[in-house]
Structure 1
């Protein structure tokens, strides 16, 4: 499987029974909350309407698909997770669950989500959902992550699918607006994730994962954070520029992206020592999560108030 060998697990640890909380942990609930939110925003901001029951089904499928992909990610990376402090307490590294159970759970959730999406909504949304699962579980997890420091750049597409899927669930087509929503998350992911990687880079180094701070160093990573932040700003304004949104979204996007840039500047130009608490990096990482919630919230508010 992975290039990192699986550390030995004691027999007693293997026999620990998994409970429902371990299966929930496999779905990465904190990550899923952002996935579900952006998918819901894509659905609510799309022109037209959808039956509330079908809309709920579409969002449930997005959540199940994301959870299935996360479970497959943890199945494949159980050995790597055991070597990293922030992931070592997950169900597989601690031996609370067999790897095959995690794999089967991930496959089941993925297949169920795509099947229900196709039967209840339509097959275009189901096809894009299937692509998103494969993108994260195979393209990013198996291929990109252990091989290239550009893993999070290319792999960022995995987390960018939910608003596209939500939009397609309503309209049944792919147009410029949902593609722009995809592009926003795609460009947001590198500065968001690299800010985290800067202050947990020793974890990645210990696990042999070629994240940018490990391979290229802090200075190069900081420059890339600023570059992607600057590119992100005009892309967030593009939905307003093409007439896909009104002033509520446009003003919010401008203000939020300006704040993002302001927080990225001290990260980009800072030279941190080994014992540096890296407060600017942590501030940027924390704000980046608020930023995406607020930006997509403004998208929905714009649609609801100006419709």
Structure 2
């Protein structure tokens, strides 16, 4: 075989691989994979704790558990895809979102819309095989994120963060309600933790990407009110987290001590924002802390129930 034929064959073999890699990258961006995975953890934690307090094993409820995790993941994926579909004009302005397939046109918008709708429907169908209560919580989260946040408040009002926080906070309620009624102290506190946590988490992102949000006309608090009021609200919400671990005394003293230490350390970091000169650096530190905070806290809830 000649060298030209070998080179030609190698080029043919590489093209599909590159195409597949590009497609996977586009789908990862379309589904906001990191955000999606981050939202699955609270669903699992809520489900796991419901099994724990009901004195039931995962294997006894494995079918319901899989339907809950699968259904909620599809519903959340559908909501995130529809967010990408609607926000294409904003994404084309912001540097971090310019490469999304909705902006580049690699995936046509009508296809993105269809994907979002299909994933949503499939997710709700799976959840209906669990409990109606779990499905209702998922519906509340989906409607809040797609309509109340994405389509209504995101571009108009600084309180859009509060509205968006509801959609992320219902996730443990979905998991718990698939096993037992979520009218219980534990899932309600999990809801409050996530609802409050999302505020400083989002503030950190908004400060980091201040110029981009301003250029895109997104009504985040730092753009509308300035950095000073945002830092004060950041402290306020972290203070609101301080009493919540004590309502989860049923998870043990170790959890209360560890989660309280996490809250106090975050409060110290929040206060330091008034003394640090580099606001971007401070916001980035807060962002990293917030991501690790919620991952560690919800993972700890699961781990402590294993012993």
Normalised by the shorter chain, which TM-score bucket?
Answer: 0.7 to 0.9
Deviation per residue, 1:22-43 (Å, 9 max, x gap): 2332211100111011111111
Higher relative helix content: 2
Q: Which residue of 1 aligns with 2:202?
A: 193
Q: Equivalents in 2 of 1:117, 1:63: separation in Å?
A: 10
Once the 2 structures are TM-superposed, how far is the Cα of residue 143 of structure 1 from its aligned partner? 1.1
Q: 1:257 maps to what in 2? A: 263
Residue number among 198, 201, 215 corresponding to 2:224 in the alignment: 215
1:100 alignment partner in structure 2: 110
Of residues 147, 151, 165, the one that matches 2:174 is 165
Unaligned stretches of 5+ in structure 1?
A: 1-15
- Judge conservation of contact 2:193–2:244 (CA < 8 Å) in 1: yes
Q: CA deviation at 1:64?
A: 1.0
TM-score normalized with structure 2 length:
0.87
Of 282, 298, 301, the residue aligned with 1:299 is 301
Q: Secondary structure at the match of 1:304?
A: coil
Cα deviation for residue 235 of structure 1 reads 2.2
Q: State the distance in 2 between where 1:270 and 1:105 align.
A: 47
Q: Cα 1:35–1:185, aligned 2, differ >3 Å: closer, same or farther?
A: same
Contact kept in structure 2, 1:122 and 1:172, CA below 8 Å? no
Computed over aligned residues only, the root mean square deviation of the Cα atoms, in angstroms, reads 1.8
- Counterpart pick for 1:176 among 173, 185, 206: 185
- Give 1:35's aligned residue: 39
Query: Structure 2: where are the runs of 5+ without partners?
Result: 1-18
Quick one: distance in 2 between partners of 1:162 and 1:90? 26
Length, aligned pairs only: 282
Does the Cα contact within 8 Å between 2:182 and 2:188 map onto a contact in 1?
no
Matched residues in 2 for 1:109 and 1:237: separation? 38
Which structure would you say has the larger Rg?
2
Structure 2 SS opposite 1:86: helix
In the TM superposition, residue 270 of structure 1 has moved relative to its aligned partner by: 3.6
**Structure 1 stretches of 4+ moved >4 Å:** none
User: Which residue of 2 is the match for residue 11 of structure 1?
Assistant: none
**In structure 2, C-alpha distance between the alignment counterparts of 1:82 and 1:237, rounded to whole Å:** 45
- How far has the Cα of 1:301 moved from its partner? 2.1
Kindly indicate whether the alpha-carbon contact (under 8 Å) linking 1:68 and 1:110 is maintained by their aligned counterparts in 2.
yes
Separation of aligned partners in 2, 1:86 and 1:233? 33
1:270–1:211 distance in 2 versus 1, CA, 3 Å: farther
> Which segment is superposed worse, 244-253 or 189-198?
244-253
Q: Is the 8 A contact 2:185 2:247 kept in 1?
A: no
**Farther off after superposition, 200-209 or 229-238:** 229-238
